[in-house]
Amino acid sequence: MTMPMLRARGSALYILLIVITILFILGVSLVQMVGFGTTQIKKLGQNTYSHYLAEAGIHLAIQKLEKTFEMPLVKGGQPRPAGGSTSNSAAAGGSGFPEVAVSREPMEVNKELLELLDIDRAREWSRTYDFGNAVVKGSKIRVTAELFGVQKNEFSSYIDRVEVVPQALEQYREKSSDDEGGAAPPAPLGGWSGRLKLTSVAELYGTRSIVEVVKGIKVIDCTPPAPDHTLFVHSNKTEYLKEGKFILSNLTLPDVIQDLLFELGNKINEMLRLQLSDAKTESLGNLSKINDMLTNKLDEGKMSDALKLVYELAQHANDEKIKDTVDNIILSLNPRDWGRVRTNGVLHVYLPFFAADDIINYFADTSIFGHQRPEIGYLYNDNRLHDPYLSVYTHFEGYIYKNYRRLNPLILGPTKEPQVVPPQRYTINTRMNYVKRYPEREAVRNLKRLIEHGAKFAHVLYKEKKKLVGTPTQPLDLSGITYCTEDLVLSGPYQGRGLIVTEKNITIAGDVTAMSASDMLGIVSLQGQILLRPTYTKIQAGIYSFESLAGLKNQQIDIEGNLACENLNREKMPRYLSCRFDPDLKNHMVDNIVGTISRRDISYRELPVGQDIDEADEP
């Protein structure tokens, strides 16, 4: 083998060794790079996990706060029957009705909620929440919540002076007129706005993330206008309830009232020997049928038969068993839950016939049937301003007159053509000069603050025409004040507690109903009117409409709430209207105070992992 050949082979070997060395170095480097990349990716994944866990902690803390606002301020305090049972007793006159509640369960103040409602306590409020394993097993989440910048606003409230409260809440109760002289004013609850800072620290797989979020928070009273009234007409005009059907009711009849009507129905059957049903569920129909018989007989000109029926009723108006039963039932109910009827002007009401309790009250007051000429009715109208058998317990505020027709008593001979009599009143609690006596109460309660400050403290603000439509699967979600500056279309189910306010008109395109008994809604048209589209509409809400309701002659609306307005404008309303007062519109133990946390963040930042929570600066 020659020397050139040996040299060529040596060069090739040398090159091969160099190539192998380079490949070895590249292989080792590649392994190191892959390992480092895998470690970095794993660490990035862990950091991402902990980051989103920290954000989850923010949402969990917000949910916990919102649930706190939904809790009652006072636990317990429910009425309990004497002896701790609901058994019947001779104390009720042996009539088989429940006894009057004479004791209450022990009351306990929800201190967690009170510290958020009291503005002075809210300024010092902070909490730390631990959500270990709440999202991912093995994780640790700690959220510190703090309030700062807490300022008073106009949407505060007080505990009503008639409510039974623990001693710890006496400072928040409204004072009666007798207690106002020299006494310290009550401390408000709610009525503040501020900022909520949430700092969330999350740990998982040895990694740690810190997220800080600042949101706006408002704690406001969402009680609708005129919460104590079934009907409130604010203007000083003269209004008329004449043609059509306009019925106001205070209560959904509880079982004890159903029992009372059943007893009364049986009593009427006994004394008149009418062929009517004895079934308890049809006792209301018995009385309604009697009323129809009276009205129909008058329409048919058979006035002597109608008067004979009235005469028989009058003979039994003072039945002691019925009277004792009524008294016991009234005592067992809460008068604070009954709505009032108010006008600042004059309201003339044309009635088709005395309601059953008006008959009893009238004859009980006159105590004689012989020489009195009872005012019996005004035909072709179907109006009512109270529940049957509860008229004397309904408060009428202002100049409210009832118009009837006069018929001669049966014993005075044949009945002549009925004559219209001057308007009079017969219910005990009609306070004709109410507005003059209490000028400070002339305004519609809770309306002024909505006019002046509603847009500023709204949770949601729309500056264009808006359509709010709920469905059974996606109901309207209420929380605080929803404010619109233009026209609004509204329909569908809702959930939560809040107010829907517009400066202009509201068109009701369908039923507006609550998903549960705890939901509450106020519908407010500050300068316009509420327009009804369907032939039949059911609205479960408190209503304020400056120019009242507008509809067609054949339309019917059933309201479960209340109706307040500047002008009633009965001639523009639907022909058939009924309004049952909903006592949940009232601020029972300030349960209409709603805490709302803004959806948008005022600030958001991720803090360095090495920085301690307490060293995080406020924005």
Contacts of 438 (CB under 8 A, 6+ apart): none
pLDDT tens figures, 331-390: 556 666 788 999 999 998 887 655 444 554 444 444 434 334 344 444 445 788 877 656
pLDDT, position 50: 82
Mean pLDDT computed over every residue of the chain? 77
* Residue whose pair of structure tokens reads 């309030």 in the numeric block: 147
| Distance of alpha carbon 410 from alpha carbon 413, whole angstroms | 6
Residue that wins the pLDDT comparison between 333 and 437: 437
Concatenating the DSSP letter of every residue in 270-301 gives HHH-------GGGHHHHHHHHHHHHHHHHHTT
Is the confidence at residue 162, as pLDDT, over 90? no
**Other Cβ atoms closer than 10 A to 422:** 9
Is the confidence at residue 193, as pLDDT, over 50? yes
Is the confidence at residue 556, as pLDDT, over 90? yes
Is the confidence at residue 87, as pLDDT, over 70? no
**Other Cβ atoms closer than 10 A to 288:** 13
| Distance of alpha carbon 420 from alpha carbon 373, whole angstroms | 12
For the segment 143-155, the average pLDDT, to the nearest whole number, is: 96
Of 178, 215, 186, give the one whose Cα is nearest residue 66. Answer: 215
pLDDT, position 279: 52
* Residue whose pair of structure tokens reads 């310290």 in the numeric block: 184
| Distance of alpha carbon 496 from alpha carbon 468, whole angstroms | 15
What is residue 10's DSSP assignment? H
Burial classification of residue 261, based on how many CB atoms lie within 10 Å of its CB (0-12 exposed, 13-18 middle, 19 or more buried): buried
Contacts of 539 (CB under 8 A, 6+ apart): 508, 511, 512, 513, 523, 557, 558, 559, 560, 561
pLDDT tens figures, 8-18: 666 666 676 77
State which of 121-135, 231-245, 319-333, 499-513 shows the largest mean pLDDT: 499-513
Q: In this prediction, what percent of the chain has a pLDDT beyond 70?
A: 62
| Distance of alpha carbon 483 from alpha carbon 463, whole angstroms | 9
For the segment 559-588, the average pLDDT, to the nearest whole number, is: 93
CA distances from 172 to 124, 163, 224 (A): 19, 11, 20
pLDDT, position 497: 94
First to last CA, the chain: 87
| Distance of alpha carbon 50 from alpha carbon 41, whole angstroms | 14
Burial classification of residue 57, based on how many CB atoms lie within 10 Å of its CB (0-12 exposed, 13-18 middle, 19 or more buried): buried
Residue that wins the pLDDT comparison between 430 and 453: 453
**Other Cβ atoms closer than 10 A to 307:** 22
What is residue 161's DSSP assignment? T
The two structure tokens encoding residue 253: 């009849």
Is the confidence at residue 89, as pLDDT, over 50? no
Concatenating the DSSP letter of every residue in 320-361 gives HHHHHHHHHHHHHS-GGGSPEEEEEEEEEEE-SS--HHHHHH
Determine contact, residues 124/145, Cβ cutoff 8 Å: no
Concatenating the DSSP letter of every residue in 72-139 gives -SEE---EEEGGGS--B-GGGTTSSPBPPEEEEPPPEE-HHHHHHHSHHHHTT-EEEEE-TTSSSTT-
| Distance of alpha carbon 358 from alpha carbon 235, whole angstroms | 28
Burial classification of residue 384, based on how many CB atoms lie within 10 Å of its CB (0-12 exposed, 13-18 middle, 19 or more buried): buried
Query: In sequence order, what are the beta bridge partners of 147?
Result: 196
DSSP run (H or E) holding 4: helix 3-70
For the segment 123-143, the average pLDDT, to the nearest whole number, is: 87
Determine contact, residues 456/151, Cβ cutoff 8 Å: no
Residue that wins the pLDDT comparison between 5 and 367: 5
CA angle 20, 21, 26 (to 5 degrees): 95
Residue that wins the pLDDT comparison between 98 and 203: 203
pLDDT, position 91: 31
Roughly what angle, to the nearest 10 degrees, separates helices 255-272 and 303-315? 120
Contacts of 5 (CB under 8 A, 6+ apart): none
| Distance of alpha carbon 236 from alpha carbon 514, whole angstroms | 34
Residue extents of the structural domains in the chain = 42-77+90-223+597-615, 231-253+277-441, 446-586
| Distance of alpha carbon 547 from alpha carbon 558, whole angstroms | 18
pLDDT tens figures, 463-516: 999 999 999 999 999 989 999 999 999 999 999 999 999 999 999 999 999 999
What single letter denotes the amino acid at residue 390? L
Contacts of 247 (CB under 8 A, 6+ apart): 382, 383, 384, 577, 578, 579
Determine contact, residues 86/98, Cβ cutoff 8 Å: yes
- The pTM for the full model equals 0.76
b/e for 23-38, b at 16 or more Cβ within 10 A? Answer: eeeeeeeeeeeeeeee
pLDDT tens figures, 93-122: 333 333 334 445 678 899 999 999 999 999
Q: In this prediction, what percent of the chain has a pLDDT beyond 90?
A: 44
Handedness of CA 248, 253, 256, 262 (dihedral sign): positive
pLDDT, position 589: 87
What single letter denotes the amino acid at residue 545? S
Q: What's the chain's length in residues?
A: 619
pLDDT, position 244: 85
pLDDT, position 127: 94
| Distance of alpha carbon 131 from alpha carbon 139, whole angstroms | 9
Contacts by 172-176, CB closer than 8 A, 24 or more apart: 172/118, 172/590
